[in-house]
A and B are shown apart, each in its own frame.
Chain A
């Protein structure tokens, strides 16, 4: 048994399996982000939805519900954003202009992917300054930074003041986007999903370990 969802695709109603719905949603989101810099983004999206709807019409005939197989067949025909190839936003003569426009729009639609320093709440001893700094500097193991701070503490105590100041000034990485910026990874849907997934895994591991501790 499967749950189904009612959707409106290009103005026509469809019944779609839940898993296929999620997949379709991801697919359309990926296309949208691919064209997010183009001026005709909404129109292209509508054209593609319309075509998708048409493909479903051809495929379905007597069938009532769109399954994963039907969806994959349609995606095969339409192609993924990677396969759209050069015919994206980066066309030869549009490229420099559109890029500049996006910059002048004051960051609208433009997601900054540069690195930012955050305190890392996932790997902290005191307040996550060292692991955040390690991530910012591209050092794999925050232990080295911690050792530096400890050694610095004995060499005159300046490191203590620096640490306290940093823990006040540097913000904590709260959202998934913050955590990606902390590591300098581009902020896009796939990466955010990955980060969130990791967090859920961490939480379930913590719960599992709590459970096993109780048993002992």
Chain B
């Protein structure tokens, strides 16, 4: 099978995306639009549709949970918050990210 750069990029982004979503939710209770706004600013996602399946998966893995809240302007909204299990997951991911960061830096910088 041909190796496509887009696939590799998407794979890389995916792991990082989980980390970022968990991190955003761990700060305070948020609803998807808040998350989307942050991720779009960071250029991590292009379309919003990417987020919903991810949230669903994290929720099913018991890393997140949500509660319904009435909204003034539209339909009721799902507000997401992190679970204790998710908190542990996040800190582990954070460590891995830092390790990877160092590892990538060390193995790709030429002046070692």
B14 and A51 within 8 A (CB) = no
B49 and A48 within 8 A (CB) = yes
Which residue from chain B places its CB closest to the CB of A81 in the assembled complex?
B49
Instruction: Say if the beta carbon of A1 comes within 8 Å of chain B.
Output: no
A10 and B57 within 8 A (CB) = no
Query: In the assembled complex, how far is the CB of residue B21 from the closest CB belonging to chain A, in whole angstroms?
Result: 11
Which of B50, B59, B75, B76 sits near A87, CB closer than 8 Å? B50
B74 and A44 within 8 A (CB) = no
**Using Cβ atoms and an 8 Å threshold, which residues of chain B touch A54?**
33, 74-75, 77
Contacts from B to A (Cβ < 8 Å): 7, 10-11, 13-14, 17, 32-33, 46-50, 52-57, 59-60, 73-78
Which residue from chain B places its CB closest to the CB of A43 in the assembled complex?
B56
B56 and A77 within 8 A (CB) = no
B75 and A11 within 8 A (CB) = yes
A84 and B47 within 8 A (CB) = yes
Instruction: Give complex CA distance A79, B40 in Å.
Output: 13
B14 and A35 within 8 A (CB) = no
9 closest Cβ contacts across the A-B interface? A79-B47, A86-B10, A40-B56, A57-B74, A79-B49, A47-B52, A83-B47, A84-B49, A10-B75
Of B7, B10, B53, B78, the most chain A CB neighbours within 10 A belong to B53
A38 and B49 within 8 A (CB) = no
Given contacts A78-B48, A91-B14, A92-B14, contact A84 B53 (CB under 8 A): yes
